[in-house]
Structure 1
Amino acid sequence: MSKKYDVIIVGGGPAGLSAAVYASRSKLKTLLLEQNRKVGGQPTTYEEMENYPGVLDTTAPELVKNFREHAEKFGTEIERGEVKDVSLDGRIKSVITKDGEEYRAKSVMIATGAEPRKLGVKGEAEFKGKGVSYCATCDADFFVDLEVVVVGNGNSAIEEAIYLTKFASKVTVIVIHEEGVMDAEKILQERAYSNDKIEFVWDSTLEEVKGEGLVDTAVLKNIKTGETTDLSCDGIFIFIGRVPRTDFVEEELELNENGYIEVNSERLDTNIPGIYAAGDVRDKYLRQVITAASDGAAAAMAAVGYIEEEDYWQENVLEAEETVLVAFWSPTNEESLEVINRLEKIDLGAKLVKIDTYKNTLVSERYDVNEIPTVLKIEDGEVVDRTVNPKLEEINEFI
């Protein structure tokens, strides 16, 4: 038997946890599903946390631990489960995990983040977990006093390279750009350059991983000369970006060419009403804990508005036993105010429902209300008549 919620959040990183705080605090019955043993997402694999405003002395794992406690304080239920299938059309959405558990909700938020991008070079898959890693915080203690290679030159790569120097005797960073050029922030570059344990190989990529049971060689290729060289090492850490985890929704949601979920930039809603995407699973300019948390808050409040709007419409219009006159209006539109005033004063012989188009955008869009005032006559949940910009003398005739 499926379990029912107001909101289901798929993914327990900063975006999902932030959304859980806002949704639960808004008195919505909220479930957060996380496939890993611990919630927290990518920050659980980092160490330093220097740029979250107002938090001066904490680690990344400690920060997301506080996120979780905050969400649970307001009543968020957190369960472990990897989602394999979804049914997102209709008023009630369905989420099914690989274990066969089904959960249902009025709104679903996708906050599954992204996973490390693979290079796809020879030996990479063979030696994964045997010297090839994508997480320094997870695996650094296996390389105490050993020599390792880091592939990549963005923020994550350089941060992880610096972290690895706490364990490894030597860290060699493989950079695809010419000497002195990196994608990481300047402050990270300066720290890496000043670290005696870090060396750089420029204009190069990883061509192959070799070893006997465990990694012992990184084959490097110079992109200018094409020359390959063998670099002896005990481990290879690859940080060349991430790929969004969207495979389970690719048949239902609109994705861009790189697999990220397309969303409205303000409400973070997708092409399906009531479905939202937050954090690194959507294409965005800046991928940081603070922007993920911001996404979660925005998407959660959009979901709150959606549920309130849908519940009101369902109860007062679609399930109404009598004829319903729905008047779309705005407090800033004088003509619509006059129509509302007129409708409230006469015997309609029907139920009157007023819809503020500013607050109820989804209903307005669904019924193609592009001008106000607009009045719909609805019977048994179906529109049987419509009038746009009616004159006061025309209202009685329409009724």
Structure 2
Amino acid sequence: MSETNNTTDIAIIGAGPAGLSAAIYVQRAGKKSTVFESMTVGGQIVNTPEIANYPGIKKVSGFEFSMGLYEQATELGAEIIYDEVADVKRVDNSSDMANHYSYRIRTGSGKVYKAKAVIIATGAKNRHLGIDREEELLGRGVSYCATCDGAFYKGKDVAVNGGGNTALDDALFLSNYCNKVYIIHRRDEFRGEPEKLELLKTKENVEFVLNSTVRELRGEKSLEEIVVSSSVQGNKQDDVQASDQVAGERIINVQGLFIAIGQVPDNIRFADLVELDKSGYIIADESCKSKTPGVFVAGDTRTKNVRQLTTAAADGAVAALGACEFIK
């Protein structure tokens, strides 16, 4: 990006799999891409211990996969700017319009950039339980990333809250280090991959607490125990043996609680630019076009039925090619 006028062909907001894939395709099309990232390159996938469902790659860590995308994009000439995008606005300045710089991007540090097209690939952030003391105990027993914080709980008792692939991955990872791992899920069936569930069944230090929700966090300076509310007795999924408990409350002594109940989009800052659905996702079809000409959407942040690593990468390619066509 030019130091004098901060202009680029296509601004990409988010350096996860969708954003970096978009950058690769933009660069290969002979255009200039600038990627804005406020956190870590790779997005949520960077914390995944093992990726085994990406075509052509048998097994790779999320970190290795993310670094591969980053290196490929930057070697092709993509620029990464580590700054949060505060807002994006259409430009009505005649000189900017004449140069086809239709969008102005303002960052959290106060810098302003201009782009001919924009790809929003902000992904989603961790969903919180929304219970008392959750924020207070963050980093002192409460975590949203097992691979980041799991090592601190070696030999201790922990709980994982959730029923999807992330929760199962977290439980598998923690079972190798922790004395005891409780898997707390509000239903009696898991959404995660059956293979992961089968492997968890073989772990002697894993206990399933089904049809249950975490209601309370207790502890003075750090987490000491959680209060779990159960709605049924004799929970079971196939041959998953759940803890025997009566309907009501149960106190579980744990030093760590890893919350893995999904993600939510962070798109309110784009509400004046694109159309959001009731959950906050940007409305766009498989063309990745938003309602605003020149603004494209890629990855988990858009409305879609399937949110996977492969679909994020595919969205990045589709959005990039669409944006390149738009600025011809």
TM-score by length of structure 2 reads: 0.90
Counterpart Cα distance in 1 of 2:203 and 2:112? 51
Counterpart Cα distance in 2 of 1:264 and 1:290? 17
Query: How big is the shift at 1:283?
Result: 2.1
- The one-letter code matched in structure 2 to 1:254 is E
Q: How many percent of aligned residue pairs carry the same amino acid?
A: 38
Match of 1:95 among 102, 105, 108: 105
Match of 2:19 among 16, 21, 37: 16
Q: How far does the alpha carbon of each residue in 1:39-73 deviate from its partner, in whole angstroms, 9 at most, with x for none?
A: 11111111101111111242121111111111112
Match of 1:187 among 179, 192, 195: 195
User: Could you say which residue in structure 1 is the equivalent of 2:240?
Assistant: none
Query: How big is the shift at 1:226?
Result: 5.6
- The one-letter code matched in structure 2 to 1:81 is D
Counterpart Cα distance in 1 of 2:284 and 2:59? 34
User: Could you say which residue in structure 2 is the equivalent of 1:69?
Assistant: 71
Q: Which runs of 5+ in 2 are unaligned?
A: 233-245
- The one-letter code matched in structure 1 to 2:280 is G
| 8 Å contact from structure 2 (residues 50, 59) kept in 1 | no
Note the 1:117-196 alignment, pairs <5 A.
117-178=127-188, 181-196=189-204
Alignment of 1:198 onto 2:206? yes
Alignment of 1:290 onto 2:299? no
Counterpart Cα distance in 2 of 1:237 and 1:307? 44
SS of the residue corresponding to residue 115 of structure 2 reads strand
Q: How far does the alpha carbon of each residue in 1:17-51 deviate from its partner, in whole angstroms, 9 at most, with x for none?
A: 00000001111111001101x31111111110111
| 8 Å contact from structure 2 (residues 143, 259) kept in 1 | yes
Mark the CA change 1:61 to 1:51 in structure 2 (over 3 Å): closer, same or farther.
Answer: same
- The one-letter code matched in structure 1 to 2:263 is R
Q: How far does the alpha carbon of each residue in 1:344-374 deviate from its partner, in whole angstroms, 9 at most, with x for none?
A: xxxxxxxxxxxxxxxxxxxxxxxxxxxxxxx
Larger radius of gyration: 1
Alignment root-mean-square deviation, CA: 1.3
User: Could you say which residue in structure 2 is the equivalent of 1:394?
Assistant: none
**Taking CA–CA contacts closer than 8 Å with sequence separation of 6 or more, which of the two structures ends up with the larger relative contact order?**
2
Query: How big is the shift at 1:202?
Result: 1.6
How many residues end up aligned between the 2 structures? Answer: 304
Query: How big is the shift at 1:251?
Result: 2.3
Moved over 4 A (4+): none
Match of 1:41 among 25, 28, 43: 43
SS of the residue corresponding to residue 171 of structure 1 reads strand
Mark the CA change 1:299 to 1:231 in structure 2 (over 3 Å): closer, same or farther.
Answer: same
Q: How far does the alpha carbon of each residue in 1:71-117 deviate from its partner, in whole angstroms, 9 at most, with x for none?
A: 11211011101111210365510111110011110000100100011
User: Could you say which residue in structure 2 is the equivalent of 1:260?
Assistant: 281
User: Could you say which residue in structure 1 is the equivalent of 2:297?
Assistant: 277
Query: How big is the shift at 1:258?
Result: 0.5
Q: Which runs of 5+ in 1 are unaligned?
A: 309-399
